[in-house]
Structure formats: C-alpha cells, structure tokens
Amino acid sequence: MKTLALDIETAPITAHAWGLFKQNIGINQIIDTGRVMCFSARWLGSKGKPLFRSEFHHGHKATIKAMHVLLDEADAVLTYNGERFDLPTLNREFVKYRLAPPAPYHSIDLLKVAKRRFRFASNKMDHLAKELKLTRKVSNRGHELWIDCMNGKRKAWSEMREYNMGDIQTLEELYYALLPWIDTHPNTPLFDGDGGKPSCPTCGSHKLQARGLVRTKTQAYQRFQCQGCGTWLRGRYSVVKGNKNVMTLIGGK
C-alpha cells in the first residue's frame, strides 16, 4: 500500500478591518484569499529527506501540479487534521487550475484518532510528540516567518523548508505510535497481497497470536493480536460447531 505522509503550509487571508476584536469581515474587504505556499511529503517507509515544493522555488502552479501527481498515485494519505484542512485546501487549488480530482485514496487523519481514542491535555501534534517522546516539531518565528516568505525572503524560505519537512518526520513517528489504535485503518493486505495467509489488516504482518475469543450476541470468534503492530482482530469464521445451543456455548444470558 502506497501511503503518502503529507503536510502543507498556507498563506493567510489578507483583508481590511476597522478593529482587532470580534470583527465581521465582509467578502468585499478581502484583498487576498490565501493559498498553498508549499508542501512536504514522503512515501511511508521510504528513506531520505521528504520532498519539498514551494511557490518560491518552483512556482505556484508547478507546486500544485506536483502535489496532484502524488495524490493521484497514493492508496492512502497520512495527515494531521488533513480532512478538515490540508485535503480540502488542496482540492480548492486543484479546481482553480482546472485539474481533475486525483484518484480516490483512503485518508488516515491522526487528529481524528487522537480525539476519538485518547484524552491528551492538548490535541496539537507537537504536544502528542512531547507526551510520547517522539521527534518534536521544528520551532519557528510564527506569523513573522509567513510574512517574510510572502515577501520572497530567501532566508525565510530556508526556515520554512526546514519547518515543513520536520513535520513529516513527526507525523510518521506519531503514525507508528498510534497504529494499533487506528480502528479505521485501510486493509493493508488488500493492497499488498497476502498470499492467502492470515495477516493483520492494519500492518500486514503474518505474526498473529491467538488470545481468547470475541463474543457477539449469537456467535464466538477466535481473537488475535498482531505481534507486529499490536492491533486486535478476530477470525472470520465462528468457532461455534454443530447444532448445539449457541447461547450455552458462548456463555450468553
């Protein structure tokens, strides 16, 4: 399965305003609606530095087209808050350049996993990295860095490149840390081909340890835990045999 780890950086919306607190900005006050300034991406499991493309180094249209090509090749896309931000923002850029939708892909959004499965003090990616002792996000100068990049300052773009590429390293490490908790993960063996052997749907490992039973209202199934990533799964077929009383066999009430 080709999984693309992805992170984008965008320019802010520029608008006229008459104050700083609780402003209602009208459409006719907007000067610039913002755009994708750059992106960093790497195929999960590949070596080397992440790919980086930016409007400063490669031009805006070429940057967007490069992103479109990658998404078109991906079976799955790994992001942090990508379903609400990165992916819709990229789709906006694609349609503005009249690019057709990329081939359908599965989305693995780790922010959704963090919110659904855990209760961290903060759901920011850097906080999770700190809590889990992973590579931290690269620090930056904040809004000033974005303004300097928008003004075409080469040194600022070097900082942005380091920051954007650093997010990919943190994102990938966080993915492997949360992997057994991602209950919506795409079925990896369907892409990789498991040769008919029982395998973990999350990571594709064949190292499965039988550990008790999964019981539904009417059936019981063998339970397994993957020794590769830690995911829990169940067998496909019921272990209930013959015409005996099912509820008695599985301890139902």
Q: Which of 210, 205, 211, 209 is nearest to 228 (CA)?
A: 205
How far apart CA 208 and CA 74 sit, in angstroms, is 27
User: Are 127 and 216 within one domain?
Assistant: no
Query: Residue 58 falls within a domain, yes or no?
Result: yes
> Is residue 240 a part of any domain in this protein?
yes
pLDDT reported for residue 234: 86
Shared-domain flag, residues 94 and 206: no
* 37 and 109 assigned to the same domain: yes
Residue 159 is given by DSSP the state: H
Angle at 113 between CA 93 and CA 81, to 5 degrees: 20
Above 50 in pLDDT, residue 245? no
Domain presence at residue 191:
no
Are residue 135 and residue 220 in the same domain, yes or no? no
CB 70 within 8 A of CB 4: yes
Secondary structure letter of residue 84 according to DSSP: I
pLDDT tier at 247, thresholds 50, 70, 90: very low
Closest CA to 79 of 2, 191, 172: 172
Number of structural domains the chain divides into: 2
Residues 203, 163, single domain; the answer is: no
Q: What is the predicted pLDDT for the residue at 253? A: 34
Answer with the one of 181, 210, 232 that is the final residue of a domain.
Answer: 181
Q: In terms of domains, do 131 and 213 share one?
A: no
pLDDT for the residue 73: 98
> Which residue is it, tokens 């057994």?
180
pLDDT at res. 44: 96
- pLDDT one-digit tens code per residue, 141-152: 999 999 999 999
Is residue 12 in a domain?
A: yes
Q: Please say whether the beta carbons of 13 and 150 come within 8 A.
A: no
Look at residue 39 in the predicted model and tell me its pLDDT: 98
Q: What is the pLDDT of residues 43-72, one digit of tens each?
A: 999 989 999 999 999 999 999 999 999 999
Residue 47 lies in a domain: yes
In the chain, what percentage of residues exceed pLDDT 90?
80
The chain-wide mean pLDDT, for the chain, equals 92
- 138 located within any domain: yes
Q: Does position 243 have pLDDT exceeding 50, yes or no? A: no
Task: Specify whether 231 is located in the same domain as 167.
Answer: no
The pLDDT score that the predictor gives to residue 242 is 55
> What residues form DSSP beta bridges with 3?
76
Q: Which domain holds residue 48?
A: 3-181
252 pLDDT exceeds 50? no
* CA–CA dist 39, 68 (Å, integer): 11
CA distance from start to end of the chain: 43
Q: How far apart are CA 174 and CA 166, in angstroms?
A: 13
Q: pLDDT per residue over 201-240, tens digit each?
A: 899 888 999 999 988 888 899 999 999 999 998 888 888 8
- Specify if 66 maps to a domain: yes
Residue 187 lies in a domain: no
Render pLDDT for 161-206 as a digit per residue (tens, 0 to 9): 999 999 999 999 999 999 999 999 999 888 876 556 788 889 988 8
Residue 248 has pLDDT above 70, yes or no: no
Give the pLDDT mean for 90-116. Answer: 98
Residues 78, 22, single domain; the answer is yes
Distance separating alpha carbons of residues 203 and 230, to the nearest angstrom: 9
